[in-house]
């Protein structure tokens, strides 16, 4: 008699300092592509019975919106967009816990001195223009330009002070 695996497809859950990922064996259903996951798409549950129970219990509000809800929740929490992709014969969902990591800041197009300043602000809670000058080893004019760019990208926010005594914090609501 052949051996049967009744446990289903393997799922790997990993928790790292900066992200949480779930990898499940098997790719997307035929005809659904990664870019479709960012818009309402048809749903083809792997386990229709389980999906139906979850729908009737109120855990699923509409078919084909789960990935959209995950993306929206990350945006509302000020987190980077999650990674949702086919990989190594399975499907990976990766949600980032922090948008202020070196990797995420590089993806946002920040230069090395801006990254240094953001990591400093993350560690110490706030930064001024003069602190930026010291941390990044730049002139006041360069620090001012960099800070304005970081404000424009929604990474820093002025917490209400003006001029050279302005205090900046990380913007966690964007």
- pLDDT by position in tens, the chain (length 174): 444 444 556 788 899 887 889 888 888 888 888 888 888 888 877 777 878 888 888 877 667 778 888 888 888 777 788 989 998 888 899 998 888 888 889 988 999 999 999 999 999 999 999 999 999 999 999 999 999 999 999 899 999 777 778 999 998 765
Q: Report the SS3 class of residue 72.
A: helix
What integer pLDDT is reported at residue 12 of this predicted model? 87
**Second-level CATH architecture of 102-170:** Orthogonal Bundle (1.10)
| Interatomic CA distance for residues 71 and 82, integer angstroms | 6
Q: What is the pLDDT of residue 2?
A: 45
CATH number of 11-96: 3.30.565.60
Q: Are 162 and 169 in contact (CB under 8 A)?
A: no
Strand residues in the chain grouped as ranges (E): 11-15, 19-25, 83-87, 90-96, 127-128, 156-158, 167-170
Contact assessment for residue 60 and residue 47, using Cβ atoms and an 8 Å cutoff: no
Neighbour tally for 138: CB within 10 Å: 16
- The answer to whether residues 88 and 10 touch, using CB atoms and an 8 Å cutoff, is no
pLDDT computed for residue 99 by the predictor: 82
What's the Cα-to-Cα distance from 112 to each of 109, 131, 137, 139, 140, rounded to whole Å? 10, 16, 11, 15, 17
pLDDT recorded at residue 172: 75
pLDDT at 1: 42
Distance of CA 170 to the CA centre of its chain: 16
Taking the C-alpha atoms of 15, 48, 43 and 29 in order, what is their torsion angle to the nearest 10 degrees?
70
Report domain extents, the chain: 11-96, 102-170
Q: What is the pLDDT of residue 50?
A: 79
Q: What are the beta bridge partners of residue 29?
A: none
pLDDT at 8: 57
Instruction: Characterize the bridge pairing of strands 90-96 and 19-25.
Output: antiparallel
Global pTM exceeds 0.85 = no
């Amino acid at each position: 008699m052949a051996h049967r695996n009744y446990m289903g497809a393997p799922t790997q859950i990993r928790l790292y300092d900066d992200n949480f990922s779930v990898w499940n064996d098997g790719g997307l259903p035929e005809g659904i592509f990664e870019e479709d996951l960012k818009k309402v798409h048809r749903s083809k549950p792997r386990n229709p019975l389980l999906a139906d129970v979850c729908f009737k219990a109120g855990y699923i509000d509409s078919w084909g919106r789960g990935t959209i809800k995950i993306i929206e929740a990350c945006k509302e929490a000020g987190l980077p967009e999650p990674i949702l992709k086919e990989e190594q014969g399975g499907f990976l969902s990766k949600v980032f816990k922090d948008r202020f990591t070196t990797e995420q800041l590089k993806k946002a197009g920040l230069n090395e001195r801006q990254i240094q300043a953001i990591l400093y602000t993350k560690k110490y809670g706030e930064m001024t223009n003069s602190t930026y000058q010291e941390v990044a080893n730049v002139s006041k004019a360069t620090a001012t330009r960099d800070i304005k760019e970081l404000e424009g990208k929604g990474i820093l926010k002025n917490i209400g002070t003006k001029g050279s005594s302005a205090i900046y914090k990380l913007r966690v609501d964007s």
